[in-house]
Amino acid sequence: MLGLAGVPLGARFRFLDPSPQACAGALGELLVAPLDDLDGVRELVAGADVCTYEWEGVPAASAREAARHVPVRPSGASLAVAQDRVAEKERCRALGIPTAAFAPVAGRAELDDAASRLGLPAVLKTRRGGYDGKGQQVVRTTADLDAAWGALRGTPLVLEGFVPFERELSILAVRAQDGTTACWPVAENLHHEGVLRVTRAPAPHLDAGLRDRAERLVRALLDDLDHVGVACVELFEVDGELLANELAPRVHNSGHWTIEGAATSQFENHVRAVVGWPIGPTDARGPAAMVNCIGGMPDPTTVLAIPGTHLHDYGKAPRLGRKVGHVTVTAPDDDELERRLAPVLDLAGPPG
Ligand code: AMP
């Protein structure tokens, strides 16, 4: 999607992906190599003006190698903080951004200690590499501690207090090289089994004070990291407060609605920012929703017959639980959005 946004701007792409089937191959030169293959990284950046990434799991050593040859944006600082849940939360706390209570856990005794300090329920997570609810276990009572430890041991962990949130939100922002920052409207996200299913943007019925707080916190983080490009902060709304859950130093699934729903999409603005061009306005064009297609694509004839729908098929092989596309729905007002969204949810939405 970065390629789809960048090609019309005149940008040309070379992609590095471990899979020869990577759908980006349709939009530029595709190098097939593991992401930790430093020869592959050198070939990737040869002759390039800039290197970027759309996954925070990119190995730090690969980002460092790329940075020896071309500017890497966002920089290694954003990557390092976003790759470690403890570093992420410490950075938030240092900037006065509230998070769930947390404690790093390296051993079994430390887990007991953390559980008694934080209280239960809590969520045990791997510090690194977890996504879409993978690498985490909910601990409801002390009887669950052994099972959670058994499932995740062997890698540094963090125990987080369980947040009884009212809803999940996210805020996306783009920061240009001169520090100019623009925020897209806060989005509301519905997850099922840890995986994002539906985003509504702008988030319905959001208190203006909370919206301003979300904007302030993402700006503070991006300024602190001297971040260049798009980033997303996932938030919990609880008791009239926002807690930061995760920082994604990249374009984000909860920003896919911006392709049709905003004046400039997250993908276009990311390309503009990392290349060094001025960023575009981020206002919503109206209410929008995005539904992930998970495991397979719905029938285009049926989906596209619903007014205001746009289908994005990533060209990925269908596989249980795999995000293979999304549908965006736009409408002139909130009621009409819900009317259009309902049949899309039946066709492509979460089970139940
Ligand atoms: P994460 O990988 O941290 O984004 O977590 C995936 C999903 O698990 C989140 O979107 C929440 O729905 C849920 N979750 C994660 N952490 C917590 C927490 N501390 N309290 C309650 N729910 C959580």
CA of 304 to the centre of ligand 1 (A): 33
End-to-end Cα spacing for the chain: 29
pLDDT digits (tens, 9 = 90+) for 231-281: 999 999 999 999 999 999 999 999 999 999 999 999 999 999 999 999 999
Q: What's the chain's length in residues?
A: 352
The rounded distance, in Å, linking the Cα atoms of 245 and 217 is 12
- Return the amino acid letter for 124: L
pLDDT digits (tens, 9 = 90+) for 267-320: 999 999 999 999 999 999 999 999 999 999 999 999 999 999 999 999 998 999
Tell me 204's DSSP state: T
pLDDT in the model for residue 203: 98
CA of 151 to the centre of ligand 1 (A): 17
What's the average model confidence in pLDDT over 172-178? 98
Q: Which residues pair with residue 189 across a beta bridge?
A: 168, 199
Residue nearest to atom 9 of ligand 1 (CA): 194
CA of 46 to the centre of ligand 1 (A): 39
| Total Cβ atoms within 10 A of residue 78 | 28
3-state helix, strand, coil in the chain (%, to 5): 35, 25, 40
Tell me 20's DSSP state: T
Give the helix/strand (H/E) hosting 44.
helix 38-45
pLDDT digits (tens, 9 = 90+) for 77-109: 999 999 999 999 999 999 999 999 999 999 999
Atom of ligand 1 lying closest to residue 130 CA: 2
CA of 245 to the centre of ligand 1 (A): 7
The rounded distance, in Å, linking the Cα atoms of 304 and 310 is 7
- Return the amino acid letter for 217: L
- Its pTM stands at 0.97
pLDDT digits (tens, 9 = 90+) for 180-197: 999 999 999 999 988 999
The rounded distance, in Å, linking the Cα atoms of 113 and 109 is 6
